[in-house]
Structure 1
């Protein structure tokens, strides 16, 4: 393993946007990584675009732009939390098909293995029940959803993301060549340690499991432990 610079591609969780990762301080990476925060359509500067409605097609669609923006000489590392984890996995599959050897590592956070999932669903509930169910799942509710004007704007995107995640089924195929690290908040009531460790069967490379302080949304509660893990990546 070498201590070389890499491009860290970050995928948002349901209802969030690239600004979450753009707010990360650059200091923890010390020039070691360039953070490339990916924007999903339907939010922030891409507000007028139709949101994704399928995880597998979303992962494949994002790859060309990521490869265009990433430093071609730097290793490529993917990170995604919850919905972002399965989109990152589908991106990883697409990259390994089209550019073998280009992907160096996949970090999946707050997510069971691709064939895991919840038995209870939020899709199809009315607005209040939907938000309450999402809050129950994540243990987190963004304050913007308590402002009627903002909720009207944000709710369709969150609904699209949640439906996309709940309807996700991975395609059959070979495990990834790239190593996978599964991350989980130690107090996460949504994703168990056993479910997080399911990712071990989805790689032919090395697998690691790490627990960080906090609940399912540990990275919103305090990003510092996660930043230390990501900045310590050795390729």
Structure 2
């Protein structure tokens, strides 16, 4: 496993033709994407983004400012600019991926070949999520409604307190976010959503179409906010097909 800062590479694939950068949800970590290795095409080298303050970066302070996050990402990106790439972001990860793309283009004049966003409102429709200001009881109930907290965490007070601390910090990323509209991107965008996701509606998902002058596509899957778990194989098949479209 190669781990240069926020870029976590579970399996090196020097022969891969394209890289996939994956951005995790609030309260999550890069390990969300570890099971993907089994199903990804040999053509794809996956790089999972790991925000500080969790998993292998647990000893580092949490960050709740998206510019600080993208600044770190941009500094570490230089070793990856030798191959085409595309991005996947789920929920909060979609917003970070969006700002990552803007920053990488400003510094390196590079764009991804494709962007896949999942369970996320278009950036201009975001309103501050005040989860960081909720007490633990109300926050726990909110997370249950999203089906976003494992039973093993719910039943362990120490793990639960740690998780709530991380989710509050991550939620404040939204509260501190200042939107700046870019010109429409030259690459295609695929938006994924869950039929029973109460956190984002179809209008908010379809609004991502304003960010591309290429092709926009929307696919809906059965499930709630974390529908990507139950539909993992299908979604990875789609990701592999996207990679096959590039030489």
TM-score bucket (shorter structure): 0.7 to 0.9
Describe the shift of the 1:106–1:25 C-alpha distance in structure 2 as closer, same or farther (beyond 3 A). Answer: same
1:212 — aligned with what?
Answer: 221
- What is the alpha-carbon distance in structure 2 between the residues aligned to residue 184 and residue 66 of structure 1? 29
The gaps in structure 1 that reach 5 residues or longer are none
1:140 — aligned with what?
Answer: 148
- What is the alpha-carbon distance in structure 1 between the residues aligned to residue 113 and residue 74 of structure 2? 15
2:240 — aligned with what?
Answer: 231
2:19 — aligned with what?
Answer: 7
Q: Is the 8 Å Cα contact of residues 106 and 178 (structure 1) preserved in structure 2?
A: yes
1:20 — aligned with what?
Answer: 32
Deviation, 1:119, is 7.2
- What is the alpha-carbon distance in structure 1 between the residues aligned to residue 57 and residue 21 of structure 2? 18
Deviation, 1:118, is 5.0
- 2:50 equivalent among 39, 51, 54: 39
Q: Is the 8 Å Cα contact of residues 129 and 172 (structure 2) preserved in structure 1?
A: no
Describe the shift of the 1:119–1:93 C-alpha distance in structure 2 as closer, same or farther (beyond 3 A). Answer: closer
Which range is displaced more, 114-123 or 89-98? 114-123
Q: Tell me if 1:191 matches 2:200.
A: yes
Q: Is the 8 Å Cα contact of residues 8 and 35 (structure 1) preserved in structure 2?
A: yes
Instruction: Report the 3-state secondary structure (helix = DSSP H, G, I; strand = E; otherwise coil) of the residue aligned with 1:23.
Output: helix
- What is the alpha-carbon distance in structure 1 between the residues aligned to residue 129 and residue 50 of structure 2? 28
Aligned pairs for 1:155-194 within 5 A = 155-194=164-203
Matched positions, count: 228
Q: Is the 8 Å Cα contact of residues 60 and 90 (structure 1) preserved in structure 2?
A: no
Describe the shift of the 1:165–1:135 C-alpha distance in structure 2 as closer, same or farther (beyond 3 A). Answer: farther
Instruction: Report the 3-state secondary structure (helix = DSSP H, G, I; strand = E; otherwise coil) of the residue aligned with 1:30.
Output: coil
- What is the alpha-carbon distance in structure 1 between the residues aligned to residue 75 and residue 34 of structure 2? 21
Which range is displaced more, 117-126 or 82-91? 117-126
Deviation, 1:102, is 4.1
Q: Is the 8 Å Cα contact of residues 189 and 212 (structure 2) preserved in structure 1?
A: yes
Q: Tell me if 1:151 matches 2:148.
A: no
Instruction: Report the 3-state secondary structure (helix = DSSP H, G, I; strand = E; otherwise coil) of the residue aligned with 2:183.
Output: coil
Deviation, 1:65, is 1.9
2:120 — aligned with what?
Answer: 111
Instruction: Report the 3-state secondary structure (helix = DSSP H, G, I; strand = E; otherwise coil) of the residue aligned with 1:62.
Output: helix
Q: Is the 8 Å Cα contact of residues 95 and 102 (structure 1) preserved in structure 2?
A: yes
- What is the alpha-carbon distance in structure 2 between the residues aligned to residue 120 and residue 52 of structure 1? 16
- What is the alpha-carbon distance in structure 2 between the residues aligned to residue 132 and residue 67 of structure 1? 42
TM-score (norm 1): 0.88
- What is the alpha-carbon distance in structure 2 between the residues aligned to residue 19 and residue 158 of structure 1? 16
- What is the alpha-carbon distance in structure 2 between the residues aligned to residue 78 and residue 185 of structure 1? 19
Deviation, 1:41, is 0.1
Deviation, 1:162, is 1.2
Deviation, 1:33, is 0.7
- What is the alpha-carbon distance in structure 2 between the residues aligned to residue 119 and residue 158 of structure 1? 14
